[in-house]
Structure 1
Amino acid sequence: MRAVFVEGENAVAVRDMAAPIADERAVVRVERSGLCGTDLKILSGKIPVQLPRVIGHEVIGRVAVAGSTGSPAVGTRVLVDPSASCGRCPTCRADRVHLCPHGALMGRDSDGGAAEFVAVHETQLHPVADGIGEDDATMMQVLATCVHAQESVTVTAGQSAAVLGLGVAGFLHLQLLRLRGADPILAVTRAGWKRDLALELGATAVVTPDDAPAATADMTDGLGVELAVECAGTAHTLRQAMLLAGIGGTVLVFGTTSPSADDMPTYQWYYKELTIRNPRAARPRDYARAVRLAAGGSLELGRLVTGTYPLADADKAFAACRDPAQLKVALTTE
Structure 2
Amino acid sequence: MIVVGADGPGKLQVRDVPAPIGNGRALVRLERAGVCGTDLKILDGAMPVAYPVIMGHEMVGVVSRTGSQGRLPCGTRVLVNPGIHCRNCYLCDTDRPHLCRHGGLLGRDMDGVFAEQIALEEHFLHVVPDVIDPDASGLLQVLGTVVHSQQTVAVMPGSVAVVIGLGVSGLLHLQLLRAGGVDRVIGITRSAWKLDLATRLGALAVATPEDAAGVVADVSGGRGADLVVEAVGTGSTVAQAIELCGSGGEVIVYGTVTGEGGPMPYYQLYFKEITLRYPRAARPEDYDRAIALAASGRIRLDPLVTASFPLENAPDALAAARSGEHLKVLLTP
TM-score range, shorter chain: over 0.9
Q: Give the corresponding residue for 1:68.
A: 68
Alignment of 1:219-298 (within 5 A): 219-259=219-259, 263-298=263-298
Q: Which amino acid aligns with 1:257?
A: V
Q: Is the 8 A contact 2:169 2:231 kept in 1?
A: yes
Alignment of 1:88-167 (within 5 A): 88-167=88-167
Displacement of 1:202? 1.1
TM-score calculated relative to the size of structure 2:
0.98
Aligned partners of 2:262, 2:56: CA distance in 1, in Å? 35
Displacement of 1:52? 1.3
Q: Is the 8 A contact 2:33 2:56 kept in 1?
A: yes
Aligned partners of 1:164, 1:273: CA distance in 2, in Å? 20
1:52-87 per-position Cα deviation (integer Å, ceiling 9, x unaligned): 111111001011111111111111110110111111
Q: Which amino acid aligns with 2:85?
A: S
Displacement of 1:152? 2.3
Q: Give the corresponding residue for 1:25.
A: 25
Q: Is the 8 A contact 1:4 1:12 kept in 2?
A: yes
Percent identity of equivalent pairs: 51
Q: Give the corresponding residue for 2:50.
A: 50
Displacement of 1:92? 0.5
Aligned partners of 1:92, 1:264: CA distance in 2, in Å? 34
Q: Give the corresponding residue for 1:313.
A: 313
Aligned partners of 1:233, 1:328: CA distance in 2, in Å? 17
Displacement of 1:131? 2.3
Q: Give the corresponding residue for 1:79.
A: 79
Stretches of 4+ moved more than 6 A in 1? Answer: none
Q: Which amino acid aligns with 1:98?
A: H
Helix, strand or coil at the partner of 1:252: strand
Q: Is the 8 A contact 1:152 1:279 kept in 2?
A: no
Helix, strand or coil at the partner of 2:319: helix
1:299-332 per-position Cα deviation (integer Å, ceiling 9, x unaligned): 1101101010011111100010012220000111
Displacement of 1:134? 0.9
Q: Give the corresponding residue for 2:182.
A: 182
Instruction: Say what the alpha-carbon RMSD is for the aligned residues.
Output: 1.1
Q: Give the corresponding residue for 1:205.
A: 205
Return 5+ residue gaps in structure 1 as ranges.
Answer: none
Displacement of 1:261? 9.6
Aligned partners of 1:260, 1:132: CA distance in 2, in Å? 39
Q: Is the 8 A contact 2:236 2:261 kept in 1?
A: no
Aligned partners of 1:134, 1:254: CA distance in 2, in Å? 26
1:145-174 per-position Cα deviation (integer Å, ceiling 9, x unaligned): 000111022121221000000000000000
TM-score calculated relative to the size of structure 1:
0.98
Q: Is the 8 A contact 1:83 1:106 kept in 2?
A: yes
Q: Is the 8 A contact 2:30 2:116 kept in 1?
A: yes
1:24-48 per-position Cα deviation (integer Å, ceiling 9, x unaligned): 2111011111011111110111111
Helix, strand or coil at the partner of 2:150: helix
Q: Which amino acid aligns with 2:39?
A: D
Displacement of 1:136? 1.5
Q: Which amino acid aligns with 1:27?
A: L
How many residues align structurally?
333
Q: Is the 8 A contact 2:188 2:195 kept in 1?
A: no
Displacement of 1:260? 5.7
- More off after superposition, 128-137 vs 303-312: 128-137
Return 5+ residue gaps in structure 2 as ranges.
Answer: none
- More off after superposition, 91-100 vs 7-16: 7-16
- More off after superposition, 150-159 vs 270-279: 150-159
Q: Which amino acid aligns with 1:129?
A: P
Aligned partners of 1:14, 1:71: CA distance in 2, in Å? 33
Q: Give the corresponding residue for 1:327.
A: 327
Q: Which amino acid aligns with 1:301?
A: L
Aligned partners of 1:93, 1:79: CA distance in 2, in Å? 23
Displacement of 1:7? 1.5
Helix, strand or coil at the partner of 1:151: coil
Q: Is the 8 A contact 1:157 1:180 kept in 2?
A: no
